[in-house]
Amino acid sequence: MEFQVVKRCKSSKARLGVIATEHGRLETPVFMPVGTAGAIKGVSPEEAREAGVEIILANTYHLYLRPGHELIDKLGGLHRFMNWPGPLLTDSGGFQTLSLSKLRTISDDGVTFRSHLDGSTHFLGPEKVMEIQRALGADIIITLDECAPFGADRSYVLNSAKLTEKWARRCLEERKDNGQALFCVVQGGIYPELREMSARGLVSMGFDGYALGGLSVGEDKPTRENVVRLTREFLPEEKPVYLMGVGTPDDIIESVKMGMDMFDCVMPTRNARNGMLFTHKGKLIIKNARFAEDNSPIEEGCACYTCSNYSRAYLRHLFLLREILSFRLTTIHNLYYYAEFMSEIRQAIRDDRLAEFSHDFYRGEAESL
């Protein structure tokens, strides 16, 4: 992987960059839809590509449990297995061990857990996580980290950050010269001094990129923004920075201003399945009765497949019946919205008008209320 900053914003720390991988180039800032088990729920890879998706995130933990990384490797790697020609990123499974905390035990060696599928016992350590991600063949892989739960006291978070650093070093020692870029995860909870400690320790090892983990787990927006702003100061300018799990449009704008380059979130796909659609005039709830006879598209001027072919009335009809087609069509629109939104942000940085773009975005949000 190669990363180059090609433009810096004059009014903030935002920057326009290019990431080059074996499976193609992509511009940053970029949003990565979540394809947990090797699929973005509701759409094919071809439909995702047509909607503007450039890179997909898949989950190490879930793919390890089924169908298994050995099988995926045998069948040619994750790109071929899911028929995705573009860049892929796999996370380490660290967050899943937090979300399944009742099923796991943490030690210095790694995480022992019981499968949420059948209760079988498994172990994920740094070396195993690297083995799995090598077999999957993603372009960007992530070191194993320990994500402290929201509300954890300082002592717990300190130990968590230290353990994350130890595991990151072991992942670094285990990496192979196979072209995969290795990102580490900065932890430290909401404690500024622990975030600084974690960032400095990881930067001293020299990774290809840096992820900010342990956020969007319950903290309020000002606290999260303060952590992102502070942590960014200790990360190298020449490397991409990935803000994990943060994905509302307003959070993305503010985080881009603070120098974040990569984002992921289940929001565009999960919300689509729940009938909540993104537009430039705010959120649209498709089940609302006022759309029963509305022959207009989700958003006037939107060039996505759904808006080009289907009305709000039809989409409401499908959603109320819980037709599978409803999930597909609404997901296509939300993916397209996010891809266009990121493209607009990049163009605003390119044109030195990010502040104006941000103002227009918030004005549109306010007018929709």
The residues carrying an active-site annotation are: 91, 264
3-state secondary structure 337-367: HHHHHHHHHHHHHHCCCHHHHHHHHHHHHHH
Cα distance between residue 317 and residue 224, in whole Å: 39
Cα distance between residue 300 and residue 293, in whole Å: 16
Question: Are the beta carbons of 299 and 310 closer than 8 angstroms?
Answer: no
Q: Phi-psi region for residue 41, left (φ > 0), alpha (ψ -120 to 50) or beta?
A: beta
DSSP 211: E
Cα distance between residue 108 and residue 160, in whole Å: 10
* Listed residue (103, 79, 100) closest to 90, CA to CA: 79
DSSP 51: T
Residues 6+ apart with CB under 8 A from 89: 32, 55, 56, 57, 58, 138, 139, 140, 141, 142, 264
Which amino acid is present at 233?
E
Structure tokens, 163: 């353990």
Residue identified by tokens 């990129």 is 209
The per-residue DSSP string of 254-294 comes to: HHHHTT--EEEESHHHHHHHTTEEEETTEEEETT-GGGTT-
In the Cβ-directed half-sphere of 187, how many Cα atoms lie within 13 Å?
Answer: 28
* Listed residue (348, 339, 261) closest to 3, CA to CA: 261
Question: Are the beta carbons of 344 and 358 closer than 8 angstroms?
Answer: no
15, β-bridge pairs: 8
Cα distance between residue 241 and residue 2, in whole Å: 13
Residues 6+ apart with CB under 8 A from 270: 41
Q: Is the dihedral of CA 21, 25, 29, 31 positive or negative?
A: negative
